[in-house]
């Protein structure tokens, strides 16, 4: 496919889910072959829906989505592993990428494994893999198809820094067309040459040249210009209306002057620029800690052991870590070594790995949101963790996490991954737990929210155990103990 030719275009595309408010309103843009484009926008704005329109999983309500040539192939690396694939072997998962039997499938798998820097037995069950390993498989599953258009939905989620660096290097050298959804500014700056910004308020897509930093700077300057222009127009409108009132009371020919001034003011109002509303961050919040009572020993968790995975072999290692109320602990180590498994054991109350104080209320942020019921309404998921029956408190707290009344009536499965993350954080505020277990809490969360989340965790007075591969985020939180599973 020749570079500089348009490979993908949206022409006046409008899209809405059945009975819902439009996510896209007469959107038009084009993508040239060989370009690397970032798709940006607030959580829930419809970025993943645009990807589904490109793959034809969804059809536009109006307008046209075109590929050139029409048979240009598309493959997508999704945010999370599909549930139906969790019980596949690695080999079966890659076989599902093709409609025909691939007689050299094992060789093809090894080739894409080299690209995403992973080594796995092909008979390993997907469910047994860590979040980081699954993230690499999602990318490899898309790459093995050798698509003309590669779609990456939050590809850095669950990856450690080495994995992110390796992925960045691959994309820098990638010769075909690539569209990426990500909230990782440093990652995006390294390789993108254009941005499509989906404005959740106008349902439009704005197209920019340059990397993420260039676009943010351009938007900031544009908003400043528009605010200045509007301020001037508003001043002129006030002056014309005031003069019109004076002339209107003088009678005679001055009434005609007053009429023309009112008409001039109305015309000026029509010229006021609709200033773009930037992504709204969540409201600053605190996570209340559980009141354990006067007879509490002070010890929330004692860690006894961890399963460490090296060279695809699991070995149990002893631990002797005591986590008291107010302690903040980070579980460190590379992808696939067993961090998520340890957190799941703690959350599940496995006495062989950890002893959790029986009176402790546990809040668990699971990286794939597997602990949330997709069929449960968001409102009911929040209500279930509250001790008091206070709907006003529930709704006002949810609003601080950008979960409005309409979203609360949706089943959790219908929410975007970012909205599921915000719902999980909102549950922590309402639950008042004594132990927070956080497995990659920055996954799927808009970068504008992260400093607010870090401050809330830094101030949390209960016990906290966390896994995160984002050093900048961890550096903003008080950490008392680091358990390095690689040692």
Least confident interval from 37-46, 118-127, 174-183: 37-46
Q: Residue 278 — very low, low, confident or very high, per pLDDT cuts 50/70/90?
A: low
- Say what percent of the chain tops pLDDT 70: 93
Residue 246 near residue 281 (C-beta atoms within 8 A)? no
Spatial CA neighbour of 220 closest among 242, 201, 197 = 197
Per-residue pLDDT reduced to its tens digit, 135-160: 889 989 999 999 999 999 888 877 77
Residue 397 near residue 430 (C-beta atoms within 8 A)? yes
Cα within 13 Å of Cα(268), Cβ side? 19
- Residues in a beta bridge with 9: 30, 66
Distance of CA 186 to the CA centre of its chain: 15
Domain ranges of the chain: 6-73+147-215, 299-484
Q: Is 318 exposed, middle or buried (0-12, 13-18, 19+ CB in 10 A)?
A: exposed
pLDDT at 38 over 60: yes
Give the chain's mean pLDDT.
86
Fold equal for 6-73+147-215 and 299-484: yes
pLDDT at 270 over 70: no
Cα within 13 Å of Cα(299), Cβ side? 9
pLDDT at 24 over 80: yes
What is each CA distance from 95 to 52, 118, 235, in whole angstroms?
Answer: 22, 18, 66
* CATH class of the domain at 299-484: alpha beta
pLDDT at 28 over 60: yes
* CATH class of the domain at 6-73+147-215: alpha beta
pLDDT at 441 over 70: yes
pLDDT at 58: 92
Please tell me which residue, 367 or 244, carries the higher pLDDT value: 367
Q: Which two tokens stand for residue 88?
A: 């596949």
pLDDT at 128 over 70: yes
- Residues in a beta bridge with 306: 317
pLDDT at 3 over 60: no
> Mean per-residue pLDDT for 209-232?
74
pLDDT at 396: 95
pLDDT at 216 over 90: no
Contacts of 174 (CB under 8 A, 6+ apart): 36, 150
- Give CA–CA dist 269/278, Å, rounded: 22
A 10 A CB-CB count for 371 gives 13
What stretch of H or E contains 223? helix 212-248
Per-residue pLDDT reduced to its tens digit, 288-330: 999 988 889 899 999 999 988 887 788 888 999 999 999 999 9
Residue 421 near residue 376 (C-beta atoms within 8 A)? no
Please tell me which residue, 203 or 71, carries the higher pLDDT value: 71
pLDDT at 199 over 70: yes
Please tell me which residue, 415 or 186, carries the higher pLDDT value: 415
Residue 90 near residue 122 (C-beta atoms within 8 A)? yes
């Amino acid at each position: 496919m020749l570079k500089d030719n348009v490979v993908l275009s949206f022409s006046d595309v409008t899209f809405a889910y059945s009975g819902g408010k439009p996510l896209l309103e007469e959107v038009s843009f084009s993508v040239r072959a060989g370009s690397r484009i970032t798709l940006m926008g607030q959580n829930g704005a419809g970025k993943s829906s645009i990807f589904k329109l490109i793959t034809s999983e969804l059809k536009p309500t109006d307008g046209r989505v075109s590929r050139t040539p029409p048979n240009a192939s598309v493959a997508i690396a999704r945010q999370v592993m599909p549930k139906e694939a969790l019980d596949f072997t690695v080999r079966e998962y890659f076989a599902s990428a093709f409609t025909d039997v691939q007689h050299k499938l094992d060789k093809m798998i090894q080739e894409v494994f080299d690209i995403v820097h992973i080594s796995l037995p092909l008979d390993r069950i997907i469910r047994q893999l860590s979040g980081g390993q699954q993230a690499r498989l999602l990318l490899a599953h898309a790459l093995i198809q050798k698509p003309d258009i590669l779609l990456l939905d939050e590809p850095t989620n669950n990856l450690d820094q080495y994995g992110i660096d390796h992925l960045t290097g691959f994309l820098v050298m990638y010769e075909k067309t690539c569209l990426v959804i990500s909230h990782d500014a440093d990652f995006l700056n390294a390789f993108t040459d254009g941005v499509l910004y989906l404005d959740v308020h106008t349902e439009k897509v704005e197209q920019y040249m340059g990397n993420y930093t260039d676009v943010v700077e351009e938007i900031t300057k544009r908003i400043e210009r528009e605010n200045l222009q509007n301020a001037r127009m508003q001043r002129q409108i006030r002056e014309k209306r005031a003069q019109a009132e004076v002339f209107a009371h003088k009678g005679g020919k001055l009434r005609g002057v007053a009429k023309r001034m009112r008409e001039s003011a109305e015309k000026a109002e029509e010229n006021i620029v609709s200033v773009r509303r930037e992504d709204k961050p969540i409201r600053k919040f605190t996570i209340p800690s559980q009141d354990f009572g006067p007879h509490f020993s002070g010890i929330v968790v004692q860690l006894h052991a961890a399963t460490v995975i090296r060279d695809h072999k699991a070995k149990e290692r002893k631990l002797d870590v005591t986590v008291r109320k107010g302690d903040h602990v980070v579980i460190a180590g590379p992808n696939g070594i067993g961090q998520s498994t340890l957190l799941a054991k703690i959350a599940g109350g496995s006495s062989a790995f950890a002893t959790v104080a029986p009176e402790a209320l546990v809040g668990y942020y699971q990286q794939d949101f597997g602990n949330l019921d997709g069929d449960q309404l968001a409102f009911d998921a929040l209500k279930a963790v509250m001790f008091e029956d206070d709907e006003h408190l529930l709704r006002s707290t949810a609003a601080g996490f950008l979960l409005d009344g309409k979203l609360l009536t949706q089943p959790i499965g219908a929410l975007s991954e970012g909205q599921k993350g915000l719902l999980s954080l909102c549950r922590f505020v309402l639950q008042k737990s004594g132990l927070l277990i956080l497995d990659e809490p920055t996954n799927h969360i808009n970068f504008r929210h992260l400093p607010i989340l870090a401050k809330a965790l830094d101030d949390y007075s209960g016990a906290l155990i966390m896994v995160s591969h984002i050093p900048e985020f961890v550096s903003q939180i008080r950490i008392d103990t680091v358990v390095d599973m690689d040692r």
